[in-house]
């Protein structure tokens, strides 16, 4: 652009340098990656391994948790157990009418009661002592339906008759792991009871596995049972479980709700499963370390690139490139490396998590937040790793860079 000086002569004014378009900056940055494909691939691999590890250590526990929730729902996440609190040497019991009282609570969908008969259980009446580990239990209501139990073979005890069903452990202790063709009896409190069935394992009520279950009327008739239950099992609408718990205690003991304890068996199973995953935090920490190592690799790659391309940087500066243009070029390179590594890491991590879940027959769960977080973490790592090299490149003096290059 021409102008007039004080003497009236025309002078040439320098043109303002225009800023390069964003597309040009991106093209220049990516061109730098293609110039050194092996080094770029190794840098991408480092960041990809870190992101894949993050996805794995978050998705696999999520799939495991989903499988646990499905298992608990199938077993009975809606189950509550009601026990009287022991306050004296005398066995604590619930009211005789507990079955009807609990059944009238609104959200309750099923209820059954049982009572420890405190009778000795022996294989035959000729044995001098019984097996103290076994419990004779009187049952009223559809107990097996409520606790999601079932009979492995045989049938339930018949009302009013001296018949009994054995828990899995009880059957093993008594030497009756399978029902013989001929009727077999055991001795309960001096009375012979015919064994009519053997239970499947009951995960939600493991104490039933060491019991011999007698019908309520048979216990009253043959064992002088007083009709007072010592435990109750209740199913309720799952969404209302926490609201129902204090209602059950107040229903059975209006004057002293604290004398009744209401527990949720499925919560105990969940706690056991949770204790197995306490090392999850350690895995996440290891994934973070892996990601940091990948970021250090990116930074090292970028610093090496700056040193190798000093002549190019000096030439661009001499031709009019701004410091910000040089910084943007190297920052774009770092971001491109990490974004590629992030996308590949997320893909590999998600695929590996899916294979692991399918192999263990779990639901495949890859949280969307993990996918977005993985790519975001890669970009953040690229910005951090590329910042120092890009600033160093921008500060190179054109003359020195051309001389050193």
Question: pLDDT grade, residue 151 (50/70/90)?
Answer: very high
pLDDT at 200: 92
CA–CA distance, 122 with 187 (Å, rounded to integer): 5
Quick: pLDDT tens for 231-259. 999 988 878 888 888 899 999 988 888 88
Any residues with CB less than 8 A from the CB of 200 and at least 6 apart, and which?
149, 150, 151, 152, 168
Mean pLDDT, the chain, whole residue set: 79
For residue 222, pLDDT beyond 80? yes
pLDDT at 12: 53
Tokens of 20: 């390069």
CA–CA distance, 301 with 166 (Å, rounded to integer): 70
Backbone phi and psi for residue 252, each to the nearest 5 degrees, phi listed first: -80, -25
Quick: pLDDT tens for 276-295. 444 556 666 766 776 677 77
DSSP three-state, residue 187: strand
CA distances from 42 to 36, 114, 348 (A): 10, 67, 16
Per DSSP (E only), the strands in 18-161 are: 79-84, 108-116, 121-122, 135-140, 151-154
DSSP three-state, residue 151: strand
Percent of the chain with pLDDT over 90: 23
Better pLDDT: 163 or 313:
163
Q: Pinpoint the alpha helices (H) of 76-215.
A: 98-103, 143-146, 168-174
pLDDT at 225: 92
Other Cβ atoms less than 10 A from the Cβ of 75: the count is 17
Report angle CA 401, 402, 403 to the nearest 5 degrees: 90
Better pLDDT: 402 or 106:
106
DSSP three-state, residue 128: coil
CA–CA distance, 325 with 394 (Å, rounded to integer): 8
CA–CA distance, 376 with 160 (Å, rounded to integer): 69
For residue 29, pLDDT beyond 80? no
Question: pLDDT grade, residue 267 (50/70/90)?
Answer: low
Of 39-48, 67-76, 194-203, the poorest mean pLDDT is in 67-76
H helix or E strand, kind and range, residue 304? helix 280-308
Question: pLDDT grade, residue 111 (50/70/90)?
Answer: very high
Quick: pLDDT tens for 165-217. 999 999 999 989 888 888 899 999 889 999 999 999 988 888 899 999 999 99
Per DSSP (E only), the strands in 200-276 are: 211-215, 231-236, 260-263
Look at residues 137, 124, 145 and name the one whose alpha carbon lies nearest to residue 209. 137
Percent of the chain with pLDDT over 70: 75
The residue-averaged pLDDT of 133-160 equals 89
Backbone phi and psi for residue 307, each to the nearest 5 degrees, phi listed first: -65, -40
CA–CA distance, 188 with 238 (Å, rounded to integer): 38
For residue 404, pLDDT beyond 60? no
Other Cβ atoms less than 10 A from the Cβ of 275: the count is 8
Question: pLDDT grade, residue 140 (50/70/90)?
Answer: very high
């Amino acid at each position: 652009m021409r102008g007039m000086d004080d003497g009236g002569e025309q002078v040439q004014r320098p043109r303002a340098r225009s800023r390069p378009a964003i597309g040009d900056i991106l093209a220049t940055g990516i061109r730098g990656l293609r110039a050194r494909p092996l080094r770029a691939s190794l840098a991408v691999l480092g960041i990809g391994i870190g992101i894949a590890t993050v996805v794995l250590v978050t998705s696999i526990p999520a799939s495991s948790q989903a499988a646990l929730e499905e298992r608990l729902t199938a077993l009975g996440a809606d189950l509550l157990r009601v026990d009287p609190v022991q306050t004296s040497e005398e066995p604590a019991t619930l009211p005789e009418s507990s079955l009807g009282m609990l059944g009238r609570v609104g959200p309750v969908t099923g209820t059954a009661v049982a009572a420890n008969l405190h009778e000795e259980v022996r294989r035959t009446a000729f044995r001098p002592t019984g097996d103290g580990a076994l419990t004779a239990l009187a049952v009223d209501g559809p107990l097996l339906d409520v606790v999601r139990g079932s009979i492995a073979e045989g049938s339930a005890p018949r009302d009013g008759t001296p018949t009994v069903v054995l828990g899995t452990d009880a059957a093993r202790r008594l030497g009756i792991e399978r029902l013989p063709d001929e009727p077999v009896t055991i001795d309960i409190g001096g009375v012979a009871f015919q064994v009519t069935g053997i239970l499947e394992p009951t995960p939600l009520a493991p104490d039933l596995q060491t019991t011999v279950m007698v019908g309520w009327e048979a216990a009253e008739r043959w064992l002088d049972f007083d009709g007072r239950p010592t435990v109750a099992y209740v199913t309720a609408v799952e969404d209302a479980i926490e609201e129902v718990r204090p209602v059950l205690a107040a229903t059975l003991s209006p004057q002293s709700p604290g004398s009744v304890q209401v527990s949720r068996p499925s919560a105990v199973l969940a706690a056991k499963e949770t204790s197995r995953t306490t090392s999850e935090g350690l895995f996440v920490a290891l994934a973070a370390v892996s990601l940091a190592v990948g970021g250090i690799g990116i930074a090292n790659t970028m610093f090496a690139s700056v040193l190798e391309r000093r002549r190019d940087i000096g030439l661009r500066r001499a031709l009019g490139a701004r410091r910000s243009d040089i910084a943007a070029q190297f920052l774009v390179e770092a971001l491109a490396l990490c974004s590629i590594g992030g996308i590949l890491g997320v893909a590999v991590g998600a695929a590996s998590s899916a294979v692991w879940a399918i192999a263990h027959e779990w639901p495949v769960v890859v949280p969307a937040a993990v996918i977005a977080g993985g790519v975001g973490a890669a970009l953040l790592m690229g910005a951090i790793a590329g910042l120092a090299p890009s600033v160093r490149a921008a500060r190179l003096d054109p003359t020195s860079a051309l001389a050193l290059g």
